[in-house]
C-alpha cells in the first residue's frame, strides 16, 4: 500500500506537493470515489486512480542529466516560445520536468526526470543537497569578501548558511577571478546575490556538481543516468 499523493507523484503527473493539492481540491477519484483527505493509502497494482478524469498507470522512471547552455529557460513550456531545457531531451514521450532550476544565464548541471518522489526529496530545503558552482567574476575578488561568502552573507531573505569556497585565483589575461563555491541551500539566484552583495559582476556561472558530476557532458549535451547514480541520488534524497 502506498500513500495516494506518493502514488500520483510516481506516475509522473505531478510533484508530491501538487498531488496533495489535487487531492484536497477534489480532483482525484479512487475506484470511482472522490478522495479529499491526505491520509488515504492505495494499492498501485489494484486500485484505479483517476486525476482530472485521467486513469493513472505506473510509469517507468527516467533520469536525464543535461549540461544546460546559457539562454535556455528551466521550464517545461514557455509562453513566449523561447527554447526550454525540454527541447534538449529528444524522443522522450514521458512527462519529464527539471529538478530545481537554473537561471536563464546560468549554465551547467540539471537533472530532468518523471520521478516526482525523487524530485521532491532532492529539492526539499531540509535535505540540503550540496551543489557546486564555478563562478567567474569580472575583476579581482577580495579575500575578506570570500571569507564572508564562506561564513554567511546577509541577504534580504536572511543570512546564507556556511559555504565551502575554493579560490582558483585571478587570471591577468582576461581579468576574471574564478571561485568554486559549494552551497546546500537553493534560494532564488543565490550565488549571484552572494557575490552581487559586494558589488561584484558575475561574468559566468556554471553548476558543475550536485549529487552528480557534469564531467564528460559537453554544453547542450544530455545523457541518461546510470542505475548507480540513481541509487546514489535516492540515498541523498532519503537522508535526514
Query: What is the set of active-site residues?
Result: 103
| Nearest distance from C-beta of residue 195 to ligand URA, angstroms | 9
* Distance in Å, CB of 133 to ligand URA, minimum: 6
CB of 209 to ligand URA, least distance (A): 13
190 binds ligand URA (CB under 6 A): yes
**Among the residue ranges 37-45, 58-66, 100-108, 172-180, the one whose residues contact ligand URA (CB under 6 A):** 100-108
Contact residues for 41 (Cβ-Cβ < 8 A; gap 6+): 1, 2, 3, 4
Residues 198-237 that bind ligand URA (CB under 6 A): 205
Q: CB under 6 A: which stretch of 16-24, 118-126, 168-176, 184-192 binds ligand URA? A: 184-192
Choice between 99 and 191, CB closer to ligand URA: 191
Choices 90-98, 116-124, 188-196, 213-221 (CB under 6 A): range interacting with ligand URA: 188-196
The number of CA neighbours under 13 Å toward the Cβ of 153 is 23
Q: Which residues contact 44 (CB under 8 A, 6 or more apart)?
A: 2, 7, 10, 58
Kindly tell me which residue out of 34, 82, 189, 219 binds ligand URA, with binding defined by CB under 6 A.
189
Choice from 10, 106, 113, 120 touching ligand URA (CB under 6 A): 106
From 137, 192, 208, 237, residue interacting with ligand URA (rule: CB under 6 A): 192
Give the helix, strand, coil percentages of the chain, each rounded to 5. Answer: 25, 30, 45
Query: 10 Å Cβ neighbour count for 224?
Result: 12
Binding mask 56-95 for ligand URA (x = CB under 6 A): ----------------------------------------
Among 11, 49, 102, 233, binds ligand URA (CB under 6 A): 102
CB of 69 to ligand URA, least distance (A): 13
Cell representation of residue 183: 552551497
Instruction: Give the Å distances, CA to CA, from 67 to 120, 141, 208.
Output: 21, 27, 9
101-128: b (≥16 Cβ within 10 Å) or e = bbeeebbbbbbbbbbbbbbbbbbeeebe
Q: How far is the CB of 193 from ligand URA (least distance, A)?
A: 6
Cα pseudo-dihedral 224, 227, 231, 237, rounded to 10: 20
Q: Does 103 bind ligand URA (CB under 6 A)?
A: yes
66 CB-contact burial (10 Å; exposed 0-12 / middle 13-18 / buried 19+): buried
d(CA 12, CA 48): 16
- Contact positions toward ligand URA, by CB under 6 A? 102-103, 106, 189-192, 205
Amino acid at each position: 500500500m502506498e500513500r495516494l499523493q506518493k502514488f500520483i507523484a510516481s506516475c509522473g503527473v505531478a510533484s508530491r506537493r501538487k498531488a496533495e493539492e489535487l487531492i484536497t481540491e477534489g480532483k482525484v477519484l479512487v475506484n470511482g470515489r472522490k478522495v479529499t483527505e491526505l491520509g488515504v493509502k492505495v494499492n498501485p497494482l489494484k486500485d484505479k486512480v483517476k486525476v482530472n478524469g485521467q486513469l493513472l498507470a505506473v510509469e517507468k522512471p527516467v533520469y536525464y542529466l543535461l549540461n544546460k547552455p546559457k539562454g535556455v529557460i528551466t521550464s517545461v513550456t514557455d509562453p513566449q516560445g523561447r527554447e526550454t531545457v525540454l527541447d534538449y531531451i529528444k524522443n522522450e514521450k514521458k512527462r519529464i520536468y527539471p529538478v530545481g532550476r537554473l537561471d536563464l544565464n546560468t549554465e551547467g548541471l540539471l537533472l530532468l526526470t518523471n520521478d516526482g518522489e525523487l524530485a521532491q526529496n532532492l529539492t526539499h530545503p531540509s535535505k540540503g543537497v550540496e551543489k557546486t558552482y564555478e563562478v567567474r567574476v569580472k575583476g579581482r575578488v577580495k579575500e575578506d569578501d570570500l571569507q564572508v561568502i564562506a561564513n554567511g552573507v546577509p541577504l534580504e531573505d536572511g543570512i546564507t548558511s556556511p559555504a565551502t569556497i575554493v579560490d582558483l585565483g585571478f587570471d591577468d589575461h582576461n581579468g576574471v577571478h574564478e571561485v568554486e563555491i559549494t552551497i546546500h541551500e537553493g534560494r532564488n539566484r543565490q550565488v549571484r546575490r552572494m557575490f552581487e552583495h559586494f558589488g561584484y559582476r558575475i561574468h559566468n556561472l556554471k553548476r558543475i556538481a550536485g549529487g552528480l558530476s557534469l564531467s564528460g557532458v559537453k554544453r547542450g549535451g544530455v545523457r541518461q543516468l546510470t542505475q548507480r547514480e540513481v541509487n546514489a541520488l535516492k540515498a541523498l534524497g532519503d537522508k535526514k
